[in-house]
Amino acid sequence: MESLTELPQGIFDRRPRTRQRLRWDVLPENPTVAGAVPEHHSVKEIVCSSSRQHSQNRFSCNDLSLSEFDDEELTKDSPKVENVSSNKPMAEELFLLNLNQEHVLDTQPAKSNYPNKCAEIVDRHMSAIQWDHEQRSLIMERKLRDDAAALEEAKELERARIEEQLRKERAQKEAEARQKAAQEAERKRTDELEAAKKREEEARAQVLQNQGSNERGQETQVTNQSQNLDRETNIRLPGVSMHSAPAALEAEAKRLKLQSEIQMPLLTKELAKHDRRIAKCISKLVPTIDSVRSRARELIAAINDRQFPRPITFCMLANKVVSLCRDRNCKDITFKGTAFACGYLILLVTSQHPDAVEYILAEFNKVCIYTVPKHLRPSDASATSREYYKRIGYHAEDGKLESTEAYLTHVSAYVKLYAAIIQAEIDGVNKPYGLKEGWRWIAMFVNHLPATSSTVVALEAFLKMAGFALYTRYGVQFKKILDVISGSFLISGSFLPLLKRRGTEVKTDAVTNLEYYITEQLYLKEPEGTRLAPGLLSRDCTITL
């Protein structure tokens, strides 16, 4: 653009020019003026000089005098410069024309491309502005996205913090509720224990008070209660006297009452299946640790079945336990091992369900009066009726009573099983009915029961099964009871002396066996079968369940 403005404006003048002729006869004083071509200058120098002069004063020729003569006259008057007058003006004119044409050609593309260049510059400028705007927009969008993400993250963190706080509050409330429930349960349990302790103290005080009164009146009253609760008859047999401790009769009355209050439902298919399930657990029992463990788990699962009331299940269990003495051969040497295994089984079950003990004892008291202990003795021969034998435990088959030998065998079996349950102990397992009750049983037996064939058989069976455990626990005190039985201190009314004086009224084998047990001190030896085997191939193993 600058090159165009610097050019002389006359060079673009398109007006026609009057062609003037140069007069070479009148030369200017300055030989460098256009039209005067000194001889010592070359054409190149003339062209350069003309170009400079043209750029300064637009090729001025004021000093030249133009003649009105035509070319012919000019040629005639000046023959010497004929070549100069005919060639030099034309050369200068041609030079100027060529110079003008070259200048037009040089400036024409610049004029024609100027709008394009301007448009290109504007386009580049607008493109730069648009690119800058786009970059600013991208930066702004990125910033907005980052701000939105940061805001969302802050919201998520706040939401998580609130949820965590709520979770902690809920956990704290639940912990407080559990602690409160545990405290409430502990308080209730403490209240129940205190109430039970109070009732026990009241019962003990009542027993002591009753013992201070007339013993015969107590026996009559408690005996009547026991007879009223008996399932077979509510009428006391005439001519039959009852021998037992008042505490034993009272305990029997409570057990029989508890058993009589149970209303057995109609035998349905489900109930029969439940009964067979319990019977199967007892019948499959063998004197091994594995068998006792598995049978105990099955029985506990049956008791925990909520489909059947627990008192009914306890009665079924008691019946199946006592039925071992009828279903198994009591004279077989393996019966003792089965009895000990059953004792451990009952211990495991009653440690989880202590209420089952009373139902089992009630069933024992019903089938064998010596587990109370209690004895019914007729005053004369007329009192020994069929009803009397049924009351003392004789079994009737096909309308006939069993023999006395069979009866004594069953008495021995019942007492052995009862003693096995009493002496069973396992470390770490709670025992609701154990050696303490066994000690009370033998003391009441010796003090209140008379010396008869059935009593001596029951006493011998009990000592064979539980004598070792009682001696281990009580030591010298147990030996004193044995001295009372054997009459070592010549106490009037001792057990064995009375049996010997009665002579043929009692079985001599039972007396001999009992005397042999005491004199040979068999209570110092652990009975065979007390230690259960871990399997069928092993013989000796301490029970650890």
Cα(287)–Cα(342) distance, rounded to whole angstroms?
8
Residue owning tokens 């940061």: 150
Residue owning tokens 């026996």: 219
Per-residue pLDDT of 331-348, as tens digits, reads: 777 888 899 999 999 999
| Domain with residues 213-524, CATH architecture | Alpha Horseshoe (1.25)
Phi, psi of 79 (to 5 degrees): -75, -25
What pLDDT score does 440 carry?
94
What pLDDT score does 165 carry?
92
Q: CA distances (Å), 474 to each of 248, 407, 471, 479, 545, in order?
A: 21, 32, 5, 9, 25
Number of continuous H segments (helices) and E segments (strands) in the chain = 19, 4
Pair of tokens at residue 112:
């024609």
Which contiguous run of DSSP H or E holds residue 397? strand 396-397
Per-residue pLDDT of 463-495, as tens digits, reads: 999 999 999 999 999 999 998 888 743 344 456
Write down the pTM of the prediction. Answer: 0.56
What pLDDT score does 32 carry?
41
* Gyration radius of the chain over CA positions: 70
Concatenate the DSSP letters of all residues of 218-277 into one string: HHHHHHHHHHHT-SS-SSPPTTEEEEE-HHHHHHHHHHHHHHHT--PPP--HHHHHHHHH
In the 8-state DSSP scheme, what is residue 446? H
Q: CA distances (Å), 254 to each of 216, 218, 227, in order?
A: 20, 16, 12
Pair of tokens at residue 271:
């109930």
Residues of the chain predicted below pLDDT 50: 1-84, 211-212, 214-235, 488-493, 503-506, 536-545
Cα(112)–Cα(310) distance, rounded to whole angstroms?
118
Contacts of 246 (CB under 8 A, 6+ apart): 207, 210, 211, 215, 218, 219, 222
Cα(408)–Cα(414) distance, rounded to whole angstroms?
10
What pLDDT score does 428 carry?
87
How many of the other CB atoms lie within 10 Å of CB of 100?
Answer: 14
The domain spans of the chain are: 2-112, 213-524
Q: CA distances (Å), 439 to each of 193, 234, 238, in order?
A: 25, 31, 33
What pLDDT score does 499 carry?
59
